[in-house]
């Protein structure tokens, strides 16, 4: 069994340069993180890339996360980064207004400066950044009110960027920024694999599913056992319960590992958070 996440850095330097160029045009950054892993899906050295920029953090996919822990996380993030943190989901439209209002609110100093200098008020420029699969395209779609930004489980569609007016005073870049990175922290990387933020050929499903079960067993034993109808939360037990057997009466680990990851990613097991707010 292979318990390491492998990275294929590719064109990291080039991507980083492109991102910096994009960021140079931006007033307010919307950093999206996954509410199920607020620590593991946040960029560690974001400050170096985004210094001097106004920022709003969105704890997205909150519809699949543990509500109480999300509230604690939001407070922690506001304290740590000194910026507002909104609890969002791309599943409904109502968060759109809240996000735009928050952009206007944090932009007040910029409007003030322009006024003082006797300059015309220009629209605030904003862009979405975040790791793969946290809901960047979905949020952009909600804000632009169209399907301009492609959504999907995999990153990859490259197009030229465009500014979209989402309010009289706010423009949004219609392509998100993805910070190129190599995640050296194996536990963080494993959690990113759980939320499908990492290319599937970089890890072993059995390892990642096993680690997921361990966390669920520690923090959400009742709802998880109830969902799988087993007393023990192991891949083997879940396979046997479902009667997924391969030759020599062995449990079908491959199929069951994939099944467990799919259940978690679709939110079927329940509303759970895998990064403990009190640990950070």
Ligand X SMILES: Nc1nc2c(ncn2[C@@H]2O[C@H](COP(=O)(O)OP(=O)(O)O)[C@@H](O)[C@H]2O)c(=O)[nH]1
Question: What residue ranges bind ligand X (CB under 6 A)?
Answer: 60-61, 63-64, 89-91, 130, 132-138, 151-153, 155, 176, 267
Q: Is residue 137 involved in binding Mg ion (CB under 5 A)?
A: yes
Asked if 56 contacts 64 with a C-beta cutoff of 8 angstroms, the reply is: no
Asked if 274 contacts 258 with a C-beta cutoff of 8 angstroms, the reply is: no
Cβ proximity to Mg ion: between 137 and 256 the closer is 137
Q: Closest distance between Mg ion and the C-beta of residue 141, in Å? A: 10
Q: Is residue 88 involved in binding Mg ion (CB under 5 A)?
A: no
Backbone angles phi, psi at 227, to 5 degrees: -65, -45
Q: Is residue 126 involved in binding Mg ion (CB under 5 A)?
A: no
Q: Is residue 133 involved in binding Mg ion (CB under 5 A)?
A: no
Q: Work out what residue 188 binds among Mg ion, ligand X, none; the CB cut-off runs from 5 to 8 Å by kind.
A: none
Cβ proximity to Mg ion: between 37 and 129 the closer is 129
Q: Closest distance between ligand X and the C-beta of residue 110, in Å? A: 27
Cβ proximity to Mg ion: between 88 and 137 the closer is 137
Sheet order of strands, 124-130 included: 85-87, 54-60, 28-34, 124-130, 170-173, 163-167
Closest among 40, 90, 85 to 61, alpha carbons compared: 90
CA distances for 236 relative to 228, 250, 274, angstroms: 12, 9, 22
Q: Is residue 175 involved in binding Mg ion (CB under 5 A)?
A: no
């Amino acid at each position: 069994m292979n318990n390491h996440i492998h990275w294929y850095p590719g064109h990291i330097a080039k991507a980083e340069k492109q991102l910096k160029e994009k960021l140079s045009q931006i007033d307010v950054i919307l950093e999206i993180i996954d509410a199920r892993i607020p620590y593991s899906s946040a960029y560690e050295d974001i400050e170096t890339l985004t210094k001097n920029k106004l920022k709003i953090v969105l704890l997205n996919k909150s519809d699949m996360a543990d509500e109480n822990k999300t509230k604690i996380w939001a407070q922690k993030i506001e304290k740590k980064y000194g910026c507002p943190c909104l609890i969002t989901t791309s599943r409904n439209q109502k968060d759109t207004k809240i996000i735009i209002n928050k952009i206007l609110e944090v932009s007040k100093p910029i409007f003030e400066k322009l006024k003082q200098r006797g300059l015309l008020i220009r629209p605030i420029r904003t862009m979405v950044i975040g790791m793969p699969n946290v809901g960047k395209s979905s949020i952009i779609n909600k804000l632009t009110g169209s399907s301009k930004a492609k959504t999907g489980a995999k990153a990859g569609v490259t197009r030229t960027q465009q500014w979209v007016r989402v309010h009289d005073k706010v423009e949004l870049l219609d392509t998100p920024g993805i910070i190129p990175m190599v995640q050296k922290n194996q536990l963080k990387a494993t959690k990113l694999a759980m939320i499908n933020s990492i290319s599937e050929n970089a890890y072993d499903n059995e390892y990642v599913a096993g680690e997921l079960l361990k966390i669920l067993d520690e923090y959400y034993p009742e709802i998880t056992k109830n969902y799988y109808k087993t007393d023990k939360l192991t891949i083997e037990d879940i396979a046997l319960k479902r009667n997924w057997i391969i030759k020599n009466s062995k449990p079908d680990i491959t199929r069951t590992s994939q099944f467990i990851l799919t259940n978690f990613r679709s939110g079927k097991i329940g509303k759970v958070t895998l990064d403990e707010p009190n640990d950070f």
